[in-house]
Structure 1
Amino acid sequence: MLGSHATQLTVTGAQPVMRSIVLPVLQILSISLVVSSMAVAAEPADAKVGPNDWPWWRGPTRDGVARDSGAPVKWSATDNVAWKAAVPGRGHSSPTVVGSLVVMQTADETAKIQSVIAFDRKTGRKLWQTTINTGGFPDRIHRKNTHASPTVAADGSRLFAVSYHHQGIHVTGLNMSGKILWQKHVGPFRPDQYKNGYAASPIVHGRNLIVLAECDDSSYMVSLDRATGKQVWRTPRPARISYSSPTLGVVAGRQQILISGCDRVAAFNPETGKGLWEVSATTMATSGTMVWHKDLVFASGGFPKAETVCIKADGSGKVVWKNTQKCYEQSMIVHGGYVYAMTDPGIVFCWRATDGKVMWRERLRGPISSSPVIAGGNIYMSNELGTTFVFKASPTKYIELGRNSLGNEVFSTPSICGGRVYARVAHLSAGQRREMLYCIGDKTTASRR
């Protein structure tokens, strides 16, 4: 099937580099033999993800916490904008910021083309766009979903994009110049009752890439070798529809993959894919990504039931607290022993992590699909209408620092790193829709790398 998928690389502003080397014939032969044997024996060393990068879904620590403390809290379409760039097509893939690149997935729904696109981090100039699939789009997805919703993951030298087409889940590995290194069909995806599409983002772990797919036909989690796409392990999941991305953290003293949905909260060993523990909780379908605090994990959803739950992640199965609030598509934030969440109607809650006590609540405005990010003790929450609320992560009361309008449709989650906010938004006007990528920050200061 993959052989029928068109691949194309378009590079903007590329220049050829020519090099002339003069060596004795025997020296050339000797070097060639050594290089050839090394290429067979060893995987090329990975580059490092930088301290000012945002390399995958929900950032470096996979929980929406930015390392940055100097990000702006106020902006508009004309104020505090370092640069902006037009994004062709449509997608909810959040900006992945790594090295000199800002990378996202996007889809041309008319031509049925899925691609990965890269912009220059300092200037916003489009550098390249690589087609990873043509055709095979599902006949129907949810109106709030897209054919390019998963966020690209990066390991410093490669990029990984997950896409749903031809009734299956496919993974593409690319280098930092947009060249396709490998493609892998990891399994079928044929939802029956709820044809809402696919949205889960992958996890980079060690030498592997972990991908989750859940629907009422078949569900599975698979780990692939990042260099080759070869399968390392595969774990079956319940044949139920759910949309959450898995996450990975050190919880209760060990690394755990955390997944909500399918009427349960579950944890897995990232090295083997084997289950660690499982608790009946939440509901069938969730979309948000789990968060944690010490030995406690938190999940919320969803459909058909509304529930937010806190579970002890030591394998005891203890449900510490729960309530009937619903964060269906959006994730939550944990900071300083408190959980912050905006529910579907647009009410922000602050709960004490240990017992769920409501510290405060504030009615803002929904609906919301984007997940929150925290930077420098400030929480950034964007609703679907294009308003980003910035407020202090304080358990005493709601303290607003900024209320910023940009575009009039936002589903993608912003990325915050290097003193800047990267936001993918859409402008709707006179029946026309245009997607833009904004870099929000001081124009006079280059984004730190």
Structure 2
Amino acid sequence: MPIRFLAPAVLILALSSFSQTFAEFPTAEDWPNWRGPLHTGEANPEQNPPVNWSNSENIAWTSRVLGKGHGSPIIVGDQIVLATSDDEAEIRFLVSYDRSTGEQSWITPIHSGNATPPRNEKGTQASATPACDGERIYINFLHDGAAWTSAVSLDGEILWQTRITPYTVHQGYGSSPFLFGDLVIVSADNKSGGAIAGLNRSNGEIVWKHQRPKKPNYSSPVVYQTSGSDQLLMTGCDLVTSLNPQTGEVNWEIEGATTECVTTTVATNGLIYASGGYPKNHLSAVRTDGSGEVVWENGTRVYVPSMLIKDDRLYAVTDAGVAMCWDALTGDEIWKGRLGGTFSSSPILIDDKIYATNEEGLTYVFLASPDELQLLAKNQLGEICFASPAVSHDQLFIRYGEMVDGKRQEFLACISTSEN
């Protein structure tokens, strides 16, 4: 049953009256999943959020978030939805906020007890981003020593829950679900021997499952149309892997990545890009035609933040805070420039502008330009940020944290120049 309100120490159960009718989904105003509507970190055209903001400037509203998590918000019609975890109570939740006001619409416990805490101090129990198809919201969590996928209605009712595979924590878990056809595709690479699986979106039944090596890895699955077909692409476990997204059958697979990858790969012109950070720093471009050809590679550490592509240029912000631009086809470095700080969230591309937020809550806005690093703005919000932003028209949504009475308090902010 969804929870309507959370007091600091009391959970009050109630059904939500919120409902949403989708004539068409996703619309240009939706950011329905990890990395946005195009699955690449790029916003749809004509989005125009602010370039400048602060704790007091261009903030339409802020709302407190229970517990903590590094999963990004998604935009679903009039709802903003994110995953979070109350570690003391050992409860993992989905939370919905009213897009116009920031008021909490509903909060639904997905799993209680039997928590599987991360071992990395930067990890959380809610590091995945939900995905929505206009009818259901899907989310991945660890629970009772396994990875689970759950489906929730638009008003917060749990519809089904499916155990995917046993999970042994090495660092943590943050793989996000991907929607393709009538399937929700999920992954859970880990030292127990993980899996990539395609589940029936209506009932959660496992349609296919592809077993993975017994190695830790953190990438999320993504499907691109490349080299003449739809390919489900994964990096990590020392592999670059292409599966048929409908059946889970292997299209091709090569040794072409490091063991541990976090980024979600991007693709262009028959190439995908594998980047990892353990046991070595590695960035490579691999052909998607099954030839196994590694077109170019270098030793840049783009371990956690996912990359962007625009006009055959590959843009990245390294973990150490350096913005970089390469020729996506040849790997030739075009420019690089230091931003500052450490980055875990992934940058997003809005028209010709890249928004990248470091772990201290400082967002750099710079041009996606092949000429040089052209910084447009630096915007401070809070003190902590690991989640990637979401955008819709003139609104930018950022999950951030502040230290309050010695404890981390998270917030969701709507950044906009216009009044609601």
**TM superposition score normalised by structure 2:** 0.94
The structure-2 alpha-carbon separation of the partners of 1:279 and 1:175, relative to structure 1 and needing over 3 Å to count, comes to same
Name the structure with the higher helix share.
Answer: 1
Distance 1:15 1:317, change over 3 A: closer
1:10 corresponds to 2:10: no
CA distance in 2, matches of 1:14, 1:47: 26
Q: Quick one: which of 375, 394, 401 aligns to 1:419? A: 394
Structure 1 counterpart of 2:187: 212
Tell me the number of residue pairs that the alignment of Structure 1 and Structure 2 aligns.
409
Residue 120 of structure 2 is matched in structure 1 by 142
Contact 1:388–1:405 (CA<8 Å) still a contact in 2?
yes
What amino acid does structure 1 have at the position aligned with 2:363? T
After TM superposition, give the deviation of residue 251 of structure 1 in Å.
Answer: 1.4
Q: Does 1:54 align with 2:47?
A: no
Given that 1:94 and 1:151 are in contact with CA atoms closer than 8 Å, whether structure 2 keeps it comes out as yes
Query: For each residue in 1:363-397, what CA deviation from the matched residue of structure 2 results, as whole angstroms up to 9, or x when unmatched?
Result: 11131100010011100111111111101100111
* Match among 291, 294, 297 for residue 266 of structure 2: 291
Alignment of 1:125-274 (within 5 A): 125-138=103-116, 140-191=118-169, 195-274=170-249
Q: Are residues 1:316 and 2:291 paired?
A: yes
Q: Specify the alignment match of 2:383 in structure 1.
A: 408
Secondary structure of 2:2's counterpart equals strand
Alpha-carbon distance in structure 1 between the residues aligned to 2:190 and 2:167: 7
AA at the equivalent of 2:85: A
For residues 147 and 15 of structure 1, the distance between their equivalents in structure 2, rounded to whole angstroms, comes to 25
Displacement of 1:442 in angstroms is 2.0
Alignment partners' CA distance in 2, 1:428 and 1:303: 31
Q: Does 1:386 align with 2:361?
A: yes
Which structure has the bigger radius of gyration? 1
Match in the other structure for 1:73: 51
CA 1:76 to 1:52, structure 2 compared with 1: closer, same or farther past 3 Å? same
Residues 16/287 of structure 1: CA separation in 2 closer, same or farther (3 Å cut): closer
Task: Give the stretch that moved more between structures: 107-116 or 411-420.
Answer: 411-420
Letter of the 2:139 counterpart: A
Contact 1:332/1:339, CA 8 A, preserved across alignment? yes
Give the SS at the match of 1:365.
coil
1:107 and 2:82 equivalent?
A: no
Indicate the residue corresponding to 1:23 in structure 2.
Answer: none
State the 1:118 CA deviation: 0.2
* Distance in 2 between residues matched to 1:14 and 1:130, nearest whole Å: 10
CA contact (8 A) 2:124 2:172 kept: yes
Deviations 1:35-60, CA, capped at 9 Å, x for gaps: xxxxxxxxxx9962222100000001
Change (3 A) 1:14 1:231: closer
- Is this contact kept in 2: 1:61–1:249, CA < 8 A? no
Q: Which amino acid aligns with 1:418?
A: H
Q: Alpha carbons of 1:10 and 1:357: their partners in 2 closer, same or farther (altered >3 Å)?
A: same
Matching residue of 2:307: 332
Question: C-alpha offsets along residues 63-105 of structure 1, whole Å, 9 cap, x if unaligned?
Answer: 1010143121111111111111110110011001011100001
- Contact residue 150 and residue 162 of structure 1 kept, 8 A: yes
Matched, 1:117 2:117: no
Are residues 395 and 15 of structure 1, via their aligned partners in 2, closer, same or farther at CA, if it must alter by over 3 Å? closer
**Counterpart AA for 2:158:** I
1:55 corresponds to which letter in structure 2? P
Q: Tell me by how many angstroms 1:15 deviates.
A: 8.2
Letter in 2 for 1:398: L
| Residues 84 and 124 in structure 1, CA contact (< 8 A), matched pair in contact too | yes
Is the 1:113–1:131 contact (alpha carbons within 8 Å) kept by the matching residues of 2? Answer: yes
CA distance in 2, matches of 1:248, 1:338: 20
CA deviation map 1:264-315 (0-9, x unaligned): 1111111111111122122100101100112111121111110110111111
TM-score, normalisation: structure 1: 0.88
- Structure-2 separation of matches of 1:343 and 1:10: 39
After superposition, the Cα gap between the structure-2 partners of 1:15 and 1:440, relative to the gap in structure 1 and judged at 3 Å, is: closer
Structure 1 pair 335–108 and aligned structure 2 pair: CA distance change class (3 A): same
Offset of residue 402 of structure 1: 1.0
| d(CA) in 1 for partners of 2:17, 2:53 | 40
- Closer/same/farther in 2, CA of residues 164 and 14 from structure 1, 3 Å limit: closer
Match of 2:338 among 356, 360, 363: 363
Distance in 1, Cα, partners of 2:15 & 2:208: 39
Q: Say whether the 8 Å CA contact 2:199–2:206 is kept in structure 1.
A: yes
Q: Report the CA distance shift for 1:52/1:15 in structure 2 as closer, same or farther (over 3 A).
A: closer
Q: Distance in 1 between matches of 2:106 and 2:339?
A: 39
What is the RMSD computed on CA atoms of the aligned residues?
1.8
Say if 1:248 and 1:16 are closer, same or farther in 2 by CA, change over 3 A: closer
- 1:394/1:158 CA distance change after superposition, 3 Å: same
